[in-house]
Amino acid sequence: MEINFFEATENLYKIDKSEATSIWYGLNQIRFFEEASIKAYKKGLIGGSVHPYIGQEAVAIGICRNLNNTDYMTTTYRGRGHALAKGADPFKLFAEMFGRKSGYCKGKGGPMHIASKKLGMLGANGIVAGGIPIAVGGALTAKRKGEGQVAVTFFGDGATNQGVFHEALNLAAVLQLPVIFVCENNLYSEMTPISDSLLNKDLAERGIAYHIHSVVVDGNDPLAVDAVAKEAIERARSGNGPTFIEAKTYRLLGHMFGDSETYRTKEEVQEWWAKEPLKIFKEQCLQYEWLSERELEEVAEQAKEEINASYEQAVLDEEPSLEEVYTDVY
């Protein structure tokens, strides 16, 4: 078994205007949401930390646009982008981050712990690699029920050094579970560069080690991610087992708001801004004439307005009452 290095061909870029609009809207929705979250954090509206997803948006969009509400998903503390891409309401997400009662977990989860049964979100997780075995459990449920559901789990490069990651991959392989492991390799685990913590050049090798179909893809190209996601989801839905996707990408901002970023150079960050996902997709839209410059602006503006309105609405939302402090917690 060998790693499949996905290479984009011209065939990939044959989408229509409505697909391009939906991808462009989704990318912008996440970007504006994350920018607004930083603004809110600075204003003291959010407790705990905010870990921005800016730079990795194409992974969430490329994968989640192929999922249904009944499919399961787990993610990390960097998981609002995945939630939005899976159809979460930005108002309920902001409300959760601000500790308000209309939030997905009635304000008790905060920015790192967002779950929604209705959307199949089995939870974002503050524990590195914590969501991976939960998704494998979801996949086991799906297999037993036999209704064609799949489970997707998003995690970082650092998570692949956790013991539970290896246990979960092995079990998923042995039981041939309908699960897609999406490793967002953004080259850093907090302040540690990947080269200081593991020797594998491609993390997809870790999937191969467990006899799992493993693919490496450009995580900054939404259509490349979309193509590998389609194949992986089809494999899972048709009972042919798990897939490991390594999406090579980059975290453009600090690990969390307030990170001094002394562990990397400004030049390195600049290089990645030049190939960030929104820029890449915008260029594709113009090159293949899916959308004009003006249409791109209009769609981005709509996303911005939706985010701004949701933000304002969440600021005005009430806090949960004191009597509820012990309900829904365990």
Q: Is 31 in the site for ligand TPP (CB under 6 A)?
A: no
How far is residue 215's CA from residue 144's CA, in Å, rounded to a whole number? 26
Q: Which of residues 176-205 bind Mg ion (CB under 5 A)?
A: 186, 189
Q: Is 33 in the site for ligand TPP (CB under 6 A)?
A: no
* Residues found in the chain: 330
How far is residue 84's CA from residue 113's CA, in Å, rounded to a whole number? 14
254 — alpha (psi -120 to 50), left (phi > 0) or beta? beta
Q: Which of residues 251-310 bind ligand TPP (CB under 6 A)?
A: 251, 255
Q: Is 186 in the site for ligand TPP (CB under 6 A)?
A: yes
Question: Please, are residues 176 and 140 in contact by the beta-carbon 8 Å criterion?
Answer: no
Contact of residue 236 among ligand TPP, Mg ion, none (CB under 5-8 Å per partner type): none
Q: Smallest distance from the beta carbon of 78 to ligand TPP, in angstroms?
A: 5
**Beta pairing class for 151-156 and 243-248:** unpaired
**Rg of the chain on CA atoms, in Å:** 19
Contact of residue 128 among ligand TPP, Mg ion, none (CB under 5-8 Å per partner type): ligand TPP
Contact of residue 127 among Mg ion, ligand TPP, none (CB under 5-8 Å per partner type): ligand TPP
User: Which residue has the closest beta carbon to Mg ion?
Assistant: 156
Q: Smallest distance from the beta carbon of 302 to ligand TPP, in angstroms?
A: 28
Closer residue to ligand TPP in complex, CB, 194/212: 194
Q: Which of residues 222-251 bind ligand TPP (CB under 6 A)?
A: 251
Q: Quick one: which of 34, 71, 157, 226 contacts Mg ion (CB under 5 A)?
A: 157
Nearest in space to 131 (alpha carbons), one of 48, 80, 72 = 72
111 — alpha (psi -120 to 50), left (phi > 0) or beta? alpha
How far is residue 89's CA from residue 6's CA, in Å, rounded to a whole number? 32
Q: Quick one: which of 111, 156, 241, 254 contacts Mg ion (CB under 5 A)?
A: 156
Q: Quick one: which of 60, 119, 159, 233 contacts ligand TPP (CB under 6 A)?
A: 159
Q: Quick one: which of 8, 127, 174, 286 contacts ligand TPP (CB under 6 A)?
A: 127
Contact of residue 103 among Mg ion, ligand TPP, none (CB under 5-8 Å per partner type): none
Which DSSP helix (H) or strand (E) runs through 192?
A: strand 192-193
Q: Is 169 in the site for ligand TPP (CB under 6 A)?
A: no
How far is residue 217's CA from residue 325's CA, in Å, rounded to a whole number? 44
Contact of residue 107 among ligand TPP, Mg ion, none (CB under 5-8 Å per partner type): none
Tokens of 16: 């229509």
Closer residue to Mg ion in complex, CB, 189/214: 189
Q: What does 262-329 look like in DSSP terms, one character per residue?
A: TTS-HHHHHHHHTT-HHHHHHHHHHHTTSS-HHHHHHHHHHHHHHHHHHHHHHHHSPPPPGGGTTTT-
Show the binding pattern over residues 52-91: x = contacts ligand TPP (CB under 6 A), - = does not.
--------------------------x-------------
Give the interface with Mg ion as residue ranges (CB under 5 A). Answer: 156-157, 186, 189
